[in-house]
Amino acid sequence: MMPKRMPKLLAAGAIALGAGSMGAAPQPFTPQAIGDAAARSLPAPPADGVMGFVVSDFVQPIVEGRDACPDGPVPKLREAYIASLPSAERERLTRKENEAELLRAWQMTAFGKNGTNICSQPELFDRPTFRTVQSKVAWGLDLDEGNSDDTCAHDTFTTPNGQTGIDNQEYRALGCKLEWRTKDGVGGDNQIGMKQFHNSGEWTQVILLRGVDSLENDPSVEVVYANTPDRPMIDGKGNYLPGITYSISTKPPRERNVLKGRIVNGVLLTDPGDIKLTQTWGQGGARDIRGNRARWDYRKARLRLEFQPDGSLKGMMAGYRPVADPIISPALGGAGSALVAGIDCAGELATLRKYADGLKDPKTGKCNGISATQRISAVPAYINDINQRTASR
d(CA 289, CA 152): 41
The predicted pLDDT at position 32 comes to 46
pLDDT along the chain (393 residues), means of 10: 40 35 38 51 92 96 94 95 97 97 97 95 96 97 87 96 97 96 88 83 92 97 95 92 94 90 98 92 45 82 96 97 94 93 96 97 96 97 77 43
d(CA 353, CA 228): 33
Phi, psi of 146 (to 5 degrees): 80, 0
The predicted pLDDT at position 387 comes to 58
d(CA 378, CA 14): 11
d(CA 380, CA 242): 5
For residue 263, list its beta bridge partners.
218, 268
The predicted pLDDT at position 5 comes to 39
User: What percent helix, strand, coil does the chain show, rounded to 5?
Assistant: 20, 30, 50
The predicted pLDDT at position 31 comes to 42
d(CA 349, CA 51): 40
Tell me, rounded to whole angstroms, the distance of Cα 95 from its chain centroid: 40
The predicted pLDDT at position 292 comes to 56
Grouping H, G, I as helix, E, B as strand and the rest as coil, residue 223 is: strand
pTM: 0.86
Grouping H, G, I as helix, E, B as strand and the rest as coil, residue 384 is: strand
d(CA 206, CA 226): 5
Phi, psi of 328 (to 5 degrees): -65, -35
Q: Are strands 51-59 and 367-380 parallel, antiparallel or unpaired?
A: antiparallel
What DSSP assignment string belongs to 282-342?
S-SSS-BTTBEEEEEEEEEEEEEEEE-TTS-EEEEEEEEEETTGGGHHHHHHTHHHHHTT-
The predicted pLDDT at position 238 comes to 87
The predicted pLDDT at position 340 comes to 95
The predicted pLDDT at position 39 comes to 58
The predicted pLDDT at position 361 comes to 95
d(CA 232, CA 36): 30
